[in-house]
Amino acid sequence: MSSSSSQSAVYARIRRNPRFAELVAKRQGFATILSVIVLTIFYGFFMVVAFQPQVIGQRLSEGSYLTVGIAVELFMFIFFWVLTAVYVKRANGEFDAMTAEIIRDASKEVK
């Protein structure tokens, strides 16, 4: 059996594996949830900037140079980094383990 036909057989077995469909659904669902969170916060901030700019320009305290807008942006920056870390941790843990199991099962069946 040639290398390319062997690879094609492995790929076909992977696509037919019910664990592969589960992996795709879990990964896509998780990514969708994180995307909705990020886009809601991001566009919500810009809606406030567009329609309530006085809120963004308010100083956090009397005599402070720090405004609500700067504080919110700093929070968003840190929060998005945390969400990225959460995704990477889950991807490197649960998703990679499932992927390795699926590939191992598909490779065994071909040999």
pLDDT digits (tens, 9 = 90+) for 16-30: 989 999 999 999 999
Cα separation, 106 vs 104, whole angstroms? 6
Q: How confident is the model at residue 8 (pLDDT cuts 50, 70, 90)?
A: confident
Mean pLDDT value of segment 37-62: 94
Q: Residue 10: is its pLDDT beyond 70?
A: yes
Query: Where along the chain do its domains lie?
Result: 3-110
pTM: 0.78
How far apart are the C-alpha atoms of 8 and 92, rounded to whole Å? 26
Give CA–CA dist 101/20, Å, rounded: 10
